[in-house]
Structure 1
């Protein structure tokens, strides 16, 4: 950094400078795991319970782009604090927006970046995951919850509806009846109810949640990153395609793995009863 840059950084409030990934104001970014192969993003607006402002989501997009381009990273973990994953979108920021501004500017369009990342993304949810926070968690591929986590889409109580995929992803995750109840009443469900309904896959004690999510990321990153991407594409297609179309896509992707060195290495290692050494090719 030049001297002027260092002075500017010093003067800016609430700026976080990370060892990896550059400078961010609203998030903490680093790589974790024994092999430093898990990208880690922590929302960092504690006074606002990690409310999702536009600046935070733009920084999230930047960090995800960087991890997507990093050949060493095989999975990404997104988390918040023990009190709140994200308590919702920043209402103060959107309070005075007009229809023309929202529609003309395609408001929230870039919030969808989490769902388009090719690498597997794990949400580690402690505390509140409400509104935009619940939507952000659902954009991830796997959701781990702390014992005190709460999920909900309370936009109806503010005179609006979910706008970042809440009505769509929640319905696919938990079914029409529960999704309709949560969206129309603004009620919340706890971690146990979320697991029972299929919204989250595992529940951990609050102080173990993040480390367990990173462990899951390490397990995923130890496999072929190329094949993991193909597997993720196939599973996601199940929500978009008919069964017949989905099976055709799965078969094509399965066939495609036979063009990779990693498929050959994986099967050879199995036959030779040794650990596979994938090279993501």
Structure 2
């Protein structure tokens, strides 16, 4: 792992720290390091939750515009596909992902945050997708993930104007789930709570919501039936139900790291 991205794992929670100050801009090196981090997390069964963090001053202020300005059609097509796939790898991790947003989360920075399951932001954080001001559009998931969060009209307004959104407005719109004085500590605490839960049930919930939301209701219900049936083959199901029958709800301690 290079110094652009640091990966730290403790108590079943991984922190992916973007470390390319001052703005954590996404260039080719950052993209490759993020892809490596996502691959390492996907291959580690001991990781039960992930926190994305850009440091105390800035989450990520977007792509390296100097590099973008040098691209033609063929270069951007391949580069953007790779960045889009990298962010999607985080979205598709089989564990909860929490983004701790400080400072600016603009362009690709906001798109990475949108790939997380949850976003906790500092009260003075600023989010936005300003690509239109460069004569382009968000290309790493922003047009799709933002629309699914806030609806078509609001997503179009934010992207067509490229305006920056203060954290409190982002929370009112549903882009941010929670505001915190220290978003990293809040995200880490939440991630630890999630990591203590039953691994496969939480994975199934994520899959049911993410994959089922865009299906017809019948398809979503079929996915739900398949997932719940599979959970009856897990040790966590045995632990949870045995604990409930003996001690009541909320007493189970689920499996240790693999």
TM-score (norm 2): 0.92
Q: Choose the corresponding residue for 2:121, options 142, 145, 163.
A: 145
Are residue 108 (structure 1) and residue 83 (structure 2) matched? Answer: yes
Are residue 26 (structure 1) and residue 4 (structure 2) matched? Answer: yes
User: Which secondary structure state, in structure 2, belongs to the residue aligned with residue 89 of structure 1?
Assistant: coil
Measure the CA separation in 2 of the matches of 1:198 and 1:248.
28
- Are the aligned partners of 2:129 and 2:142 in contact in 1 as well (CA < 8 Å)? yes
**Correspondence for 2:56:** 82
Q: RMSD between aligned alpha carbons?
A: 1.8
Measure the CA separation in 2 of the matches of 1:191 and 1:103.
32
TM-score (norm 1): 0.85
Measure the CA separation in 2 of the matches of 1:108 and 1:67.
17
CA drift of 1:40 comes to 0.5
Equivalent residue runs for 1:254-273 within 5 Å: 254-273=228-247
Count of residue pairs the alignment pairs up: 253
User: Which secondary structure state, in structure 1, belongs to the residue aligned with residue 197 of structure 2?
Assistant: coil
Q: Choose the corresponding residue for 2:66, options 78, 92, 96.
A: 92
Cα deviation digits, residues 211-251 of structure 1 (max 9, x gap): 11011111111012222211110110243212221122112
Measure the CA separation in 2 of the matches of 1:224 and 1:28.
27
User: Which secondary structure state, in structure 1, belongs to the residue aligned with residue 201 of structure 2?
Assistant: helix
**Correspondence for 2:18:** 43
Are residue 173 (structure 1) and residue 149 (structure 2) matched? Answer: yes
Measure the CA separation in 1 of the matches of 2:201 and 2:39.
20
Q: Choose the corresponding residue for 2:204, options 230, 233, 236.
A: 230
- Are the aligned partners of 1:39 and 1:75 in contact in 2 as well (CA < 8 Å)? yes
Measure the CA separation in 1 of the matches of 2:168 and 2:49.
25
CA drift of 1:104 comes to 5.5
Deviates more, 1:154-163 or 1:168-177: 168-177
CA drift of 1:195 comes to 1.1
- Are the aligned partners of 1:58 and 1:110 in contact in 2 as well (CA < 8 Å)? no
Measure the CA separation in 2 of the matches of 1:164 and 1:240.
19
Q: Choose the corresponding residue for 1:249, options 223, 247, 251.
A: 223
- Are the aligned partners of 1:87 and 1:130 in contact in 2 as well (CA < 8 Å)? yes
User: Can you give the 5+ residue segments of structure 2 that lack an aligned partner in the other structure?
Assistant: none
CA drift of 1:67 comes to 2.2
Measure the CA separation in 2 of the matches of 1:31 and 1:113.
18
Measure the CA separation in 1 of the matches of 2:83 and 2:42.
21
